[in-house]
Structure 1
């Protein structure tokens, strides 16, 4: 058993108060020999003091919040260990191009990402997921966990706006590091979601290559592009000289050169984004086994219930006492 608030035990001496304080209730007599000795009343008074002392002890122990030991349960399902790496640059708050003939802007890219990723998470109850956001640097969101509340909170934070920079290298390296603190179980993947790609230095490229290949991680890149952006799938990309390619094309070539399972997607509207996420959903479903922790029993509630029961007994006993001998 563990105590969450052990400092509360310094209040334990209050349990002696019922025996230390003298009661002034009852009748006053000038000569005590007039009053017969009442052994029953003395015993009842002692019992009431003991009950009051026990009541105070229960309250103090409840304040200390005693908890039982946590339990670990092994769980087997179909899923993957996944880290979502989400672009938090200001451009993610721009809408998709939408339909020019309608005169209305489409859904905001970050809002669409939040909505569809949340649906993706909810459709995979056996997955363990982590979250990393990035702008000019990596922003830790959540470790790899099966706690859905923590994952949803991290996704909501990672899809909010930040500053106008896109440091994908920092986001990917931070995502890879999350796998170091958890044992491998089945499929492991990184899902990179961005609407652009900054330049990555040779040093960072070497680190990404070394860590991704050594850990045998799969990588999926979803590019949220606008109609005027260069497509990484365009046949004309071969016209660019080595080292002069636009950042998205250079990054795509780098990912393709790695000895890992890699696939890129482009989405210029929410429907295309949903299609990409659904494709990843079908690819990353293997047998997964992991353990979950169940918090130990909270004994503070039990002590509060005991304290309430003792309070009721004391109240009843106090109202049953004889107040006067006048009618005797």
Structure 2
């Protein structure tokens, strides 16, 4: 039961609960002799019921005054889900719309659409652990892996400041992998990269990422928020055009991800509806059995103890009010 009290010294009063078992609180009645009266099981049962009620009332009152509570605990549960790190691009281009301009009127920027849809995604995932990271020039560790939805949604909302000019996706991925490494459970592991572009990843960083991805299975999803009129992930350069990471970073980042020999999938979205569909698809794909632990906080049980004491006292009061005093009858009357 994991029960405890705030003032253990008061438990020294618990022996007082034995008093009703040895001494009745009912009014004593005198009689000349009981030898001629047959045994009455009902009266015996009522007598012991009242004695036990008195013991219960004293015990419950002492426990309530002592601060009875149930200790916090961790419960192991099972469900379907994954341990997900949301890696969100915070470069300045994310503050533009999918049309590539500053939002006007009721228009929604790419970052605002991503935040809205990711929060909806989390709201419908009951058993996931979610961590949040962001990147532009440098990576930002926003929220460690947690099962608390409110914290994850607040972390996503916190990424609403104007972004910087650069996109350092390599260091952002390295941070996401570190967040996954800190979790030792056997759950399915996922990194969701949300970005509207890519940048060249240094060769040394590529090798570091390759080694990190090889250490344990991680599913990688790239949600590419494509600006209208810009090259896509699968765009092939025309003859004579440069086909280099500098000229076509998205195409080469996709090729790098495919070379990692991991479970990887890219989604190309040109409007909020496409983003919503991509996130829904990721949700369907990540439905693996998962074991997770839920932390149950300390629970105050004083009210329960006092409620039991009151119920026992009501029984005793009712019995007391039902007492009838025997009036001796004079001889010859």
- Give the structure-1-normalised TM-score: 0.66
Preserved CA contact (<8 Å) 2:200 2:246: no
Q: Which residue of 1 aligns with 2:97?
A: 95
Equivalent position to 1:79, from 74, 81, 93: 81
Q: Which residue of 1 aligns with 2:31?
A: none
Taking the aligned partners of 1:250 and 1:110, their CA distance within structure 2 comes to 23
Preserved CA contact (<8 Å) 1:237 1:249: no
- Tell me the number of residue pairs that the alignment of Structure 1 and Structure 2 aligns: 245
What CA deviation, in whole Å up to 9, does each residue of 1:290-313 have, x standing for no partner? 1121222368x98xx9xxxxxxxx
Instruction: Give, in angstroms, the shift of residue 275 of structure 1.
Output: 1.2
Instruction: Give, in angstroms, the shift of residue 253 of structure 1.
Output: 1.0
Preserved CA contact (<8 Å) 1:218 1:260: yes
- Structure 1 runs of 4+ aligned residues shifted over 3 Å read 66-69, 103-106, 235-245
Specify the SS of the correspondent of 1:142: strand
Instruction: Give, in angstroms, the shift of residue 237 of structure 1.
Output: 7.0
- Structure 1, 166-175 or 235-244: larger mean CA deviation: 235-244
Instruction: Give, in angstroms, the shift of residue 236 of structure 1.
Output: 3.6
Q: Which residue of 2 aligns with 1:165?
A: 166
Q: Which residue of 2 aligns with 1:265?
A: 267
Taking the aligned partners of 2:296 and 2:105, their CA distance within structure 1 comes to 49
With over 3 angstroms needed to count, the CA separation of the structure-2 counterparts of 1:246 and 1:105, relative to structure 1, is farther
With over 3 angstroms needed to count, the CA separation of the structure-2 counterparts of 1:213 and 1:71, relative to structure 1, is same
Gaps of 5+ in 2: 3-64, 307-333
Q: Which residue of 2 aligns with 1:107?
A: 108
Q: Which protein shows a greater Rg?
A: 2
Gaps of 5+ in 1: 2-57, 306-328
Specify the SS of the correspondent of 1:132: strand
Specify the SS of the correspondent of 2:299: coil
With over 3 angstroms needed to count, the CA separation of the structure-2 counterparts of 1:104 and 1:293, relative to structure 1, is closer
- Which one has the bigger helix percentage? 1
Instruction: Give, in angstroms, the shift of residue 162 of structure 1.
Output: 2.7
Question: Considering only aligned residues, what root-mean-square deviation do their CA atoms show, in Å?
Answer: 3.2
- Give the structure-2-normalised TM-score: 0.65
What CA deviation, in whole Å up to 9, does each residue of 1:186-223 have, x standing for no partner? 32110000111122111111111111121210100011
